[in-house]
Structure 1
Amino acid sequence: MLRLATASLAGTAIEFYDFFVYGTAAALVLGPLFFPSFSPLAGTLAAFATFAVGFLARPLGSVVFGHIGDRYGRRPVLLGSLLLTGAATVAVGCVPTYDSIGVAAPFLLLLLRFLQGLGLGGEWGGAVLLTAEHAPERRRGLWSSFPQIGPSVGFLLANGIILALSALLSDAQFTSWGWRVPFWAAGLLALAGLWLRRTVEETPQFRELAASGSRAQAPLAEVVRGHWRLVLLTGGALAVGYASFYAVTTWSLAYATERLGVGRTTVLGCIMAAVAVMGVATPLMAVLADRYGRRPLCLIGCAASALWMFPLVALMRTADPVLMVLGFTVALIGMVTMFSVVGAYLPELYPPRIRCTGAAVGYNLGGVLGGALTPIVATALADGAGPPWGVAVYLSAIGLLSLGCFALLPETAPALLRTRTGAAESAAPA
């Protein structure tokens, strides 16, 4: 299990590195380089719009790779998604700017961001099923949290490289060519990930499906026909986690540097400190989920996220690094209380024959609802001299929506369900 979980974590970290390095670049440099005729605000909005395209592509990627995973196995998904995302990320680092090729530059950026999202949409389903379907029942939450640590590792790696470049290069050098280096590094990381995953075995549950001839012929059709309500509920439930994460890691970076005058290196350092705490907390929360259930932790995380958005904005407005770290950290702890358990929770909601498609589509639908729009909406709402309380209202509203969706979802923790069933049977009249 440790070898499988490590391979899953490494690949997920690499793919999220690819995805996050684009978000940081969008907040810092892509606006003036690819949309130079826009005002600073409009350029940032346009850069965030290309960022959002990656989220719009993720559900499509989960359909394509989910079909492969349910029909041909989880292992091909792990390799194909990593290769696609890595190639698209390297290509982003090679795209000439608007000054060189005109309108073709933002078009190519948009296309490559779409391919990034397509690959990442398939990665998550394959990675979590690799661990969830191999894991012992009573520790499924813990082992399935390893892919969920991947986003923290990927974010720290992406922003660590950008932070180092920001410190070593002048603003002119970073804007000219330095921002491209993290994208080029994705090629080496993708090769390392493929090497780690080359010996990964197919999961026992898929082998049983293949041997019995009970694989789904049209997984998406089965999901839509029999589980559409579940997909919508899981998408709505996960929206606040995405919104919280990208409000902290993408919108706040642009807002603090452009509107509050905080140095780029300082803001990146604050965000990275909060993400590091989030990564450490992920397996700890997953252990609690194995003991107390998936649903209670998700409800607690949603409630905490909805309540913390106003303090988050107030602490960020101080421009004090210590207070900013506090605001970011609590927001991400609320987020990871939910996301630490979904690697086990979502697959348990679906039958094995359509699990790769159903779990991945629901997960990535949450990305569209919460991640794609948050940097754009937050940037627009913060267009004023005063505190951006509109951003806090928007994020809190998403938190309440997600809380309602989680309240309608069932518990799935096997040990907890057996305990309840046994208690019910012993209490029944003879």
Structure 2
Amino acid sequence: MNTTHTVTPELEGLSPEDQAYRMRRAKKAGLSAFLGGTLEYYDFFVYATAASLIFPHIFFPDGGENDVMTLVASFGTLGVAYVARPFGAVFFGHLGDRVGRKTILLATLVLMGVATFIIGLLPTYDQIGIWAPILLVVLRLAQGMSAGAEIAGASALSTEEAPVGLRGFFPSLSMSGIAAGIVLASLAFLPVSAMSEADRLSWGWRLPFLASILVLAVAWFVRRTLEEPEDFQEAKREMDSAEEKPKAPFLVMIKTHPIQFIQISILSIQAVTNTLMQAYGLAYATSIGIPASTMLWVTIMGNVVAIFTTPAAAFLSDRIGRKPTFLIGSALTAVMIWVYFIAISTQNVPLIFIASTAILGGTYVMSNGVYPSWFSELFNVKVRYTGVAVGLQVGIMLSGFTPMIAAALVGGTPANWGPAAWLVSGSLILVTLVAMTTRETYRTPLAELGNPVSYTEIAAGLHHGSRR
């Protein structure tokens, strides 16, 4: 999948030097998206793993015989970040569409990395009582604010930098970065899981959180060299020269792209697959006797494969379209999740590896690898960051609480895993139906993406030009 000599319609007519320059910009944007995704999901999965294995023991009072409620409380702190994500999407999305993509992507990067590092320094419940879970929730909210805008911003920027014919490929690198982040987090927890329980609960759990500062440093170094996309710069000049300044991008987006906003809010629920497998799947498997180290290796294998298959699926969508690729992936995942839970409930380790890898590295990437470009392509450049960020987080917020809901529904009865599978399968059936109604965009020129947005007309309240 070498893009070095690819000449797409938007590059035709340019000199070889200009073509090379444009491609370098696209590759740098893709690398930035990859590293941002790596940091975000390294932090996310370190937290999800700790919420499954560590936090119920050190950040909450002893649940005695009611271990299920302690686990539910721990997963509740995982879920609160998803409540913060829409607020982060509105706040940072507004700034991203007004100030610029690069500046806000630097801000979200630092917020995520620093919050994760500080979690690794927190005192426990035994040391400061109720303040321990309170501080944990505050930092988790900060992570949620950052995550609410990170992927949307990286997707918008890399979509705007990529030429037609590669607009699926480059934004998907953020999803490859997510897979890489999960692999790094799993590897970081392997030595922790091998420690004695006393060492693991006293200091060992802190190491993966403190190590996040290294990922932050690398991502910052690359991201600070980015440039603003030309398409966005032109839109910003129009905004700055408008006699009547437009309303907040969120209000403009709702007025001009209401259907697209509703569509991606529902389509983004596809993230329930990853959230439930990585958090609740781990907790469920260990509760019935499968070693945590085994499940970590299951996660590592699936996500190592996903690092490579995600851009391959996105590249496929550059050839056959966003919609068919997304539809096939979500429909197949709705079926495969049942195989995954059957494998865990029967403690069939080889089948667990096969099912998890088939989902994480196969069916799931067909939808997950396509959405960064597809969602971005549904919006006009003037409201793209806001539209993708807010719409994405509305759906993802719902998926954030599924581990807690699954833990409550399944309870202490391992054989009662059906509700957990239905949470994923039912959500994906809805996603598949909505995907059928969504506009195909893979061949649309960059300047024609989304619905028309005139700052002058919007400010005057006269804009009626939405295409649906």
The DSSP-based 3-state class of the residue aligned with 1:137 is: coil
The superposition leaves residues 87-108 of structure 1 with CA deviations (integer Å, 9 ceiling, x where unpaired) of 1111111111111111111111
1:16–1:120 CA contact under 8 A, matched in 2: no
Q: TM-score, normalised by structure 2?
A: 0.85
The superposition leaves residues 31-67 of structure 1 with CA deviations (integer Å, 9 ceiling, x where unpaired) of 1211123231111110100000111111111111111
Q: CA deviation at 1:311?
A: 1.6
Q: Give the percent of matched residue pairs that are identical in Structure 1 and Structure 2.
A: 35
Q: 2:305 is matched by which residue type in structure 1?
A: V
Within 5 Å, give how 1:113-192 maps onto structure 2: 113-167=140-194, 169-192=195-218
More displaced 10-residue stretch of structure 1: 289-298 or 32-41: 32-41
Q: 1:34 is matched by which residue type in structure 2?
A: F
Within 5 Å, give how 1:315-326 maps onto structure 2: 315-326=343-354
- State the match for 1:338 in structure 2: 367
2:31–2:173 CA contact under 8 A, matched in 1: yes
The superposition leaves residues 184-233 of structure 1 with CA deviations (integer Å, 9 ceiling, x where unpaired) of 11223212221111111111111111223368541011122333332222
Alpha-carbon separation, structure 2, partners of 1:65 and 1:12 = 17
Q: TM-score, normalised by structure 1?
A: 0.92
- State the match for 1:359 in structure 2: 388
- State the match for 2:332 in structure 1: 304
Q: CA deviation at 1:387?
A: 4.3
Alpha-carbon separation, structure 1, partners of 2:247 and 2:156 = 19
Alpha-carbon separation, structure 1, partners of 2:247 and 2:98 = 7
Alpha-carbon separation, structure 2, partners of 1:296 and 1:308 = 18
Q: CA deviation at 1:15?
A: 2.0
More displaced 10-residue stretch of structure 1: 294-303 or 390-399: 390-399
- State the match for 2:44 in structure 1: 19
Alpha-carbon separation, structure 2, partners of 1:51 and 1:73 = 30
Paired residue total = 413
- State the match for 1:225 in structure 2: 255
2:186–2:299 CA contact under 8 A, matched in 1: no
| Correspondence for 1:84 among 102, 111, 116 | 111
- State the match for 2:72 in structure 1: 45
1:161–1:182 CA contact under 8 A, matched in 2: yes
Q: 1:55 is matched by which residue type in structure 2?
A: Y
- State the match for 1:421 in structure 2: none
- State the match for 1:428 in structure 2: none
- State the match for 1:6 in structure 2: 31
2:334–2:426 CA contact under 8 A, matched in 1: yes
Alpha-carbon separation, structure 2, partners of 1:378 and 1:57 = 21
Unaligned runs of 5+ in 1: 418-430
Alpha-carbon separation, structure 2, partners of 1:345 and 1:229 = 14
Q: CA deviation at 1:413?
A: 1.0
More displaced 10-residue stretch of structure 1: 302-311 or 60-69: 302-311
- State the match for 1:327 in structure 2: 355
1:32–1:40 CA contact under 8 A, matched in 2: no
Q: 2:98 is matched by which residue type in structure 1?
A: R
- State the match for 2:127 in structure 1: 100
Alpha-carbon separation, structure 2, partners of 1:216 and 1:18 = 36
Alpha-carbon separation, structure 2, partners of 1:221 and 1:255 = 42
Determine if the alignment matches structure 1 residue 195 to structure 2 residue 202.
Answer: no
| Correspondence for 1:55 among 58, 78, 82 | 82
More displaced 10-residue stretch of structure 1: 189-198 or 245-254: 189-198
The DSSP-based 3-state class of the residue aligned with 1:94 is: coil
Q: 1:232 is matched by which residue type in structure 2?
A: I
Within 5 Å, give how 1:262-301 maps onto structure 2: 262-301=290-329
Q: CA deviation at 1:392?
A: 1.8
Q: CA deviation at 1:175?
A: 1.1
Unaligned runs of 5+ in 2: 1-25, 447-468
1:54–1:117 CA contact under 8 A, matched in 2: yes
2:183–2:299 CA contact under 8 A, matched in 1: no
- Mark the CA change 1:21 to 1:354 in structure 2 (over 3 Å): closer, same or farther: same
Determine if the alignment matches structure 1 residue 382 to structure 2 residue 382.
Answer: no
More displaced 10-residue stretch of structure 1: 333-342 or 378-387: 378-387
Alpha-carbon separation, structure 2, partners of 1:263 and 1:356 = 42
Q: CA deviation at 1:7?
A: 2.2
Q: 1:112 is matched by which residue type in structure 2?
A: L
Q: 1:361 is matched by which residue type in structure 2?
A: V
- State the match for 2:53 in structure 1: 28
Q: CA deviation at 1:12?
A: 2.0
Determine if the alignment matches structure 1 residue 412 to structure 2 residue 441.
Answer: yes
- State the match for 2:94 in structure 1: 67
Q: 2:80 is matched by which residue type in structure 1?
A: V
Alpha-carbon separation, structure 2, partners of 1:312 and 1:396 = 12
1:11–1:82 CA contact under 8 A, matched in 2: yes
Aligned Cα root-mean-square deviation (Å): 1.7
- Mark the CA change 1:304 to 1:98 in structure 2 (over 3 Å): closer, same or farther: same
